[in-house]
Each structure stands twice: as structure tokens, then as C-alpha cells.
């Protein structure tokens, strides 16, 4: 067994305020005081022996090994305990938690076997355990109030993860009319004494900007502090949300070696459906650590701000916003890109400058030299709703496999990448949600007339066509009572937070 790296990792802001924290403190705080995101001061490195050692391990054991390299202030037993509580078989319906469905030409990394049927469970089952342990380790007495803006999946996964966790309350804001009906039902039926769900009149970017503005409001935070309440985040701006996602890149690689699809040391490619840039950034961390990854392919829908950025070096959110059949990617402000810019430049002043420009004008330009450096690792493309549906129908016909809409975006972009480059390295597609979460769009793609079918009739119809059963968490929505009905304007979010904090 390799020893844990002796390096005591510290975390500091991408915008360079000089404060260095342990991972437990960074996880409790969520966002740095200067508005930046916490990043590790150095990157743990692994060798071929470390990667080979993962082959015969369970997902929980793999997770403990990888996480231990980043959470150096947690004891090995604390990390193992967090992992065991997060990834128990009572919560995940697949033995390997994040299994790879292996086809001859590619692998599909299924990240949706957790309680809410989306990849967010991989992180949001673990984050509450990490945060709860961090509160005990640091002797924090205040209550923590988690604020979440969601485009659909994060909200339910965070509610499920934090439900009835001691010393923590959670409040989720989602865009009214901007999530699928299943996603909405999942949130509105959430049980737990410490949870609140509120719709915001606006889109996801409005909800996320509102949450960020509340985090950055010193006077408001002081007011909460007097009431013994401290704000934190469960969005992927929180380091404790991002670090669990690194694990499944290593796990997928180990599984592919084991399945004989690749040899140890072979480089592979990952295509990731991308909104807030957290999932694909975890793949970047895995590559920086030493996992043999050639390219990370960033797949977008019609809200293709990241495609344009990774092709031109100009990030410009001043554009039309589209509601698509991939709502979790209907995002124009990709928060985690800030972390990539920091790691690529090491220059906190430049990062802070770009973020200031983004805030003031909605755009920034990183220049040709840095773009070229980023393009050595990243490739980007986008696909339309029509092409996404075409792919779902074709994959079902060819492989009798049903991808959800977000997975289909990645699959289509992976095809585009291979056609454009001729790169024949083994490709892994990150499958971020169960098809049952987006049953209407998936059924339409399969040529089924959904007129007159409600959500549950659609679940039943999809079940008839699909080998995988309807996930229990979705099937049970039929009989669950709606418990939340809050709605507010963007400017009413502070008041809503205050009311819940005092409740």
C-alpha cells in the first residue's frame, strides 16, 4: 500500500487574497472572501503503480485513496468513514457506483446510479459527510446554511445529501419553468426538517448570480452571523463538490484496463457534457495528477459559450439564452472556468482582472498564447436539439442502449471530434443522467408520441423500451406529497434566505 503523500496541501483563492486554508476550512467556507474559488496550492502526483493498484479495489476504496491525496488534514479513517456513509449500497444501485458500460468503440461512464439518478450524487452524497466532519474537526459552533442555485440536478442531489444532517440547513433556488417536470417534482417533494425549495422568477444564471451576490454581501453575512448562521455552498464552486468527481475518472480508467479495452499506460479521451465546467475540470485534475488522458472534449448545447471560448479565447455571455432539451447545460456563466484559468496561468491578478471584466461587461479575452496552451488539453463543440434526438434514436437502434439527452450531446460531440481529428484513442463518454429524468425528450427521440401522457405514463412507456428499470427515487414520486411552494423575484432572494435562516 502506498503511503499517503507527505505534502500538507493548503487551499487559496484563485483571485489571490493570500489566505491559506486547510481543506476542511475551505469546504466549510465554500467561496473565498474575495469572491474567488479555492484551489490546491500544488497538484498531488500519482504514478503507474498507484493507478494499477486501483484495479482490484471497490469504488469506495478507490475514492479513499484518491481523496486522501487532497484532503491531507483529514485522517485516513475520517476519509474512509465519509466515503462509506456516502456510497453505501442503500443509496447506489450499481455495485461499482460509477460503472463503465463497455462497447467495442467506446465506453459510457454511468454516473447516475445514485439516489437522484444524476451525476451530481457522486459529489453531493459525499460533500455533506466531508462538511459535517469538517465542522467537528474545526470546532465550528455556528449553524451552516447551504445556498444552492440549480439548473435541475444539483438541487435535488444537494437536498438528498444534506437532508437532516446535523448543524446544517439547505435552501435551493431553481428557475421557475426552467427545469424538467421530474426535476421539479423531485425537489418539491423533498422531505427533511432542514430543507427549503424556492422558485426564482428568471433563468439559472439569474438564480446563480443572486446566490453569488448574497455570498458577497458583507453586511448581510454579518447580520446572519449575529444569528449564529454561516453561509456555505453546495454548488461546484465548493471544493468539496469538485474533489469527489476526480475519483470516477481514475475509476473508469481502472475498469477499462480490467476489461481489456486498454493497456495500462494507454492514453484515452473523455467527452463531457458541460454547463458549469465542474465535471470536465475534475478530469483536468485527474490528468494533471498523472492519469493518462489525451484530450478532454467539452460538449455543449445551443448555449455554446464554452465552445466559442475554447475555440477563440473570448468568453462572451452577451448572447441569446436558449431553453433546450438539455436543461442542466442551459448556462451562460460557467463558474469553474475560473479555476482552469488559474491553473493554466498561476497568475491571480490576471484571473481577478478577467472575472472583473466578466462582471462589468459580460466578456473577457485571454489572448492567443494562453488559448493555445488550453487547446493542448481541451477540444470543444456543440450540438443542436435535433442532432441530439437523432443520436438517441440511432444509438438505441444500433446498440439497444438509451442515453439521456445530456449524454447524447456528449456522444454526438465525441463523434464530431473523431471525425474532425482522426484520433482513434479509446473514448469515454460521461453519462450524467438517467434517461428516465428526461423521459419526454427521450421518448420523442425514440419516435414515441407523448401527447396526452403525464410524467408517470412516460416513465412506464420508457421502461417498456429500456433494459434498465425505472430508478426507485423517480418511481416513488407518484405517491409523494408536494411540500414546498415558495416563489420569489431575484431581488427577493435575500429576504427569503433571512426568513429561512430564522425559521
Nearest C-alpha neighbor of 109 from the set 249, 312, 261, 298:
249
- Compute the distance between CA of residue 395 and CA of residue 408 in angstroms, rounded to an integer: 9
Element (H, E) at 381: strand 378-382
- Compute the distance between CA of residue 140 and CA of residue 135 in angstroms, rounded to an integer: 5
Q: Pinpoint the alpha helices (H) of 35-99.
A: 48-53, 59-70, 76-86
Asked whether 14 and 338 are in contact (CB, 8 A), the reply is yes
Active site residue 287: no
Among the listed residues 10, 65, 80, 120, the single catalytic one is 120
The Cα angle at residue 417 between residues 250 and 373, in degrees rounded to 5 = 70
CA 108 to chain centre: 17
The Cα angle at residue 36 between residues 310 and 69, in degrees rounded to 5 = 85
3-state secondary structure at position 326: coil
Phi first, then psi: give them for residue 20, nearest 5 degrees: -115, 130
Quick one: angle between helices 305-312 and 368-375, nearest 10? 110
CA pseudo-torsion sign 147, 98, 104, 434: negative
- Compute the distance between CA of residue 113 and CA of residue 110 in angstroms, rounded to an integer: 7
So which residues are the catalytic ones? 120
Amino acid at each position: 500500500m502506498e503511503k499517503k503523500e507527505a505534502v500538507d496541501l493548503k487551499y487559496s483563492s484563485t483571485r489571490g487574497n493570500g489566505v491559506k486554508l486547510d481543506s476542511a476550512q475551505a469546504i466549510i467556507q465554500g467561496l473565498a472572501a474575495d469572491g474567488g474559488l479555492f484551489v490546491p496550492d500544488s497538484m498531488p502526483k500519482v504514478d503507474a503503480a498507484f493507478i494499477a493498484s486501483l484495479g482490484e479495489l471497490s469504488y469506495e476504496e478507490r475514492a479513499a485513496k484518491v481523496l486522501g491525496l487532497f484532503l491531507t488534514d483529514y485522517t485516513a479513517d475520517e476519509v474512509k468513514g465519509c466515503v462509506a456513509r456516502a456510497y453505501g449500497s442503500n443509496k447506489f444501485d450499481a455495485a461499482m457506483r460509477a460503472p463503465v458500460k463497455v462497447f467495442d468503440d467506446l465506453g459510457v461512464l454511468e454516473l447516475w446510479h445514485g439516489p437522484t439518478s444524476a451525476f451530481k450524487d457522486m459529489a453531493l452524497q459525499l460533500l455533506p459527510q466531508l462538511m459535517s466532519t469538517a465542522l467537528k474537526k474545526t470546532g465550528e459552533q455556528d449553524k451552516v446554511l447551504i445556498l444552492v442555485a440549480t439548473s435541475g440536478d444539483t438541487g435535488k442531489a444537494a437536498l438528498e445529501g444534506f437532508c437532516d444532517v446535523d448543524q446544517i440547513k439547505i435552501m435551493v433556488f431553481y428557475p421557475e419553468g426552467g427545469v424538467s417536470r421530474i426535476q421539479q417534482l423531485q425537489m418539491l417533494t423533498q422531505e427533511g426538517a432542514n430543507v427549503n425549495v424556492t422558485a426564482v422568477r428568471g433563468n439559472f444564471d439569474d438564480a446563480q448570480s443572486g446566490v453569488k451576490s448574497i455570498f458577497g454581501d458583507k453586511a448581510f453575512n454579518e447580520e446572519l452571523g449575529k444569528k449564529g448562521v454561516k453561509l456555505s455552498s453546495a454548488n461546484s464552486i465548493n471544493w468539496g463538490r469538485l474533489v469527489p468527481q476526480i475519483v470516477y475518472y481514475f475509476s473508469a480508467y481502472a475498469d477499462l484496463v480490467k476489461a481489456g479495452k486498454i493497456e495500462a499506460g494507454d492514453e484515452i479521451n473523455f467527452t463531457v457534457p458541460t454547463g458549469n465546467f465542474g465535471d470536465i475540470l475534475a478530469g483536468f485534475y485527474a490528468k494533471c495528477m498523472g492519469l493518462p488522458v489525451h484530450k478532454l472534449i467539452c460538449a455543449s448545447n445551443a448555449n455554446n459559450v464554452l465552445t466559442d471560448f475554447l475555440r477563440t479565447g473570448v468568453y462572451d455571455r452577451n448572447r441569446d439564452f436558449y431553453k433546450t432539451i438539455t436543461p442542466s447545460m442551459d448556462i451562460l456563466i460557467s463558474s469553474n472556468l475560473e479555476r482552469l484559468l488559474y491553473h493554466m496561468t498561476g497568475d491571480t491578478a490576471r484571473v481577478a482582472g478577467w472575472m472583473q471584466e466578466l462582471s462589468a461587461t459580460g466578456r473577457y479575452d485571454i489572448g492567443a498564447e494562453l488559448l493555445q496552451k488550453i487547446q493542448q488539453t481541451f477540444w470543444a463543440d456543440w450540438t443542436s436539439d435535433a442532432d441530439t434526438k437523432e443520436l438517441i434514436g440511432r444509438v438505441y437502434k444500433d446498440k439497444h442502449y438509451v442515453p439521456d439527452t445530456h449524454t447524447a450531446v456528449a456522444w454526438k460531440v465525441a463523434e464530431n471530434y473523431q471525425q474532425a481529428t482522426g484520433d482513434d484513442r479509446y473514448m469515454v463518454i460521461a453519462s450524467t443522467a438517467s434517461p428516465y429524468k428526461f423521459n419526454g425528450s427521450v421518448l420523442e427521440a425514440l419516435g414515441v408520441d407523448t401527447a396526452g401522457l403525464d410524467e408517470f405514463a412516460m416513465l412506464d412507456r420508457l421502461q417498456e423500451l429500456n433494459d434498465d428499470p425505472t430508478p426507485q427515487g423517480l418511481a416513488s414520486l407518484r405517491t409523494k406529497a408536494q411540500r414546498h411552494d415558495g416563489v420569489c423575484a431575484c431581488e427577493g432572494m435575500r429576504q427569503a434566505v433571512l426568513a429561512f435562516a430564522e425559521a
